[in-house]
Amino acid sequence: MKIVNGKVFIDGKFQDVEVQFENGKITNIGKDLVDDEVIDAKGQYVYAGIVDTHCHGGFLRSFGYEPKTAHNGTVKEQAEYLCAKLPEFGVTTVFPTLASDLGTYDDELEAVRIIREIRPTVKGAKPLKFHFEITYPSLDRYLPNGKVEQLPSIEHTDWLVDNDYSDIAFICIAPDLEGSMEWLDYVVSKGVQPEVGYTKATAETIIEAADHGLCHCSHIFNGYLPMHHRESSPAVGILLDDRIKAQITLDGYHVNPAWVRLLLKTKGIENCYGLTDLSSMSGLPEGLNTFPDGTTVLTKDGFNWRPDGHILSGNMTMDQIMLAAKNKVGLTMEEIGTLFTENPAKCTGLTDRGKIEVGRLADFVIMDEDYHVLETIIDGKTYYKA
């Protein structure tokens, strides 16, 4: 099988080449490849299947237990629904993202066990690795009772991952918390890529944490103290240290476009990657929405808010946020392709997917110039077609 007549995104550029694949793997890239089976891209844009490293759920479903979505099935049913649905928006691999503010630590552990159980047979986007967000926060507005309830500890984290670190991508920590540096040393030894977020740490503490293996940040500028010219702050530490790869929300609202440009100019696009931060509340109608458990969410101009005025996580699917990055943030198609389709794999160390390259998985998404998904291919087979 080969894809022809497409603008194929490789190494930050659109190239006039054909892509051939067999048995779920890319076997050849070039021109005039011999093959009897053809997918005609009809002049549209061909990207590697997208890896969303930060996705809580969507469509009133969650990867972890949330009381407000319980009416839509068990955690198993909701996770299966999400994996089946996400390829419609270009996602072929997802990191199920679990956050302590959406449930309890016990709920996160249960979700880990369930997703591990369904992973071998689930259809659609592959739930590859886990992303634990807001696991050990110090920022006041994310503390449930105004105080730190759980310090980072080896024993607690061992329990949280069910004593298995083999499929853990990120665990989020505020490195100003007591015991953080020892904890970082331990989880790094287990293959985890620690993530900073929801912290009051100084820039100096962030850089010290990078010395101990801290290497990612949860959506920079969101969940941090505001930058102030007379104060050291976590965002400054992240900007200064290129060992820390920066997730960035590109919907044009969570982060002002000028700050996006500052980030890319300071760290370089190679050290940044896009995400959706898609939440279970995505897709709500405009106005005040009330869930069966009594939770209320105000949806206004396409974004979700708590009654106290706190903006909530992402409300855009992958195709929508890529379009917003183009029309609202003002990025080029090459920058968007880099940030969303190649850098998630590059920044997280994935070498078997996330780029159109011989030997990698035959996961592709064909889109038009406004990022409408025309076809999603997973393991060399068409999974979704518009």
Q: Where are the beta strands (DSSP E) in 184-271?
A: 195-196, 216-217, 245-248
What pLDDT does 145 receive?
82
Res 265 pLDDT > 90: yes
Q: What percent of the chain has pLDDT over 70?
A: 100
Q: What percent of the chain has pLDDT over 90?
A: 87
CB atoms within 10 A of CB 167: 17
CA distance 128 to 98: 14
Mean pLDDT for 27-34 is: 97
**Nearest partner of 138 among 98, 99, 177, judged by Cα:** 177
The amino acid occupying position 257 is P
Please write the tens of the pLDDT for every residue from 298-343. 988 888 888 888 888 778 999 999 999 999 999 999 999 999 999 9
Look at the block and give the residue holding tokens 């105004």: 146
What pLDDT does 255 receive?
95
| Helices 203-211 and 180-189, packing angle to 10 deg | 30
Please write the tens of the pLDDT for every residue from 106-159. 999 999 999 999 999 999 999 999 999 999 999 998 888 889 989 999 999 999
| CA dihedral sign of residues 101, 165, 279, 315 | positive
What pLDDT does 300 receive?
87
Please write the tens of the pLDDT for every residue from 337-361. 999 999 999 999 999 999 999 999 9
What pLDDT does 307 receive?
85
Please write the tens of the pLDDT for every residue from 168-186. 999 999 999 999 999 999 9
Task: Kindly report the average pLDDT of the chain as a whole number.
Answer: 95
Res 102 pLDDT > 80: no
**Kind plus residue range of the DSSP H or E element containing 168:** strand 168-173
What pLDDT does 351 receive?
98
Please write the tens of the pLDDT for every residue from 61-79. 999 988 889 999 999 999 9
- Cβ density class 191-230: b for 16+ within 10 Å, e for less: ebbbbbbbbbbbbebbbbbbebbbbbbbbbbbbbbebeee
- Cβ density class 1-10: b for 16+ within 10 Å, e for less: bbbbebbbbb
CB atoms within 10 A of CB 327: 12
What pLDDT does 146 receive?
83
CA distance 243 to 262: 18
pTM: 0.96
Domains of the chain are: 2-46+368-385 (2.30.40.10), 49-352 (3.20.20.140)
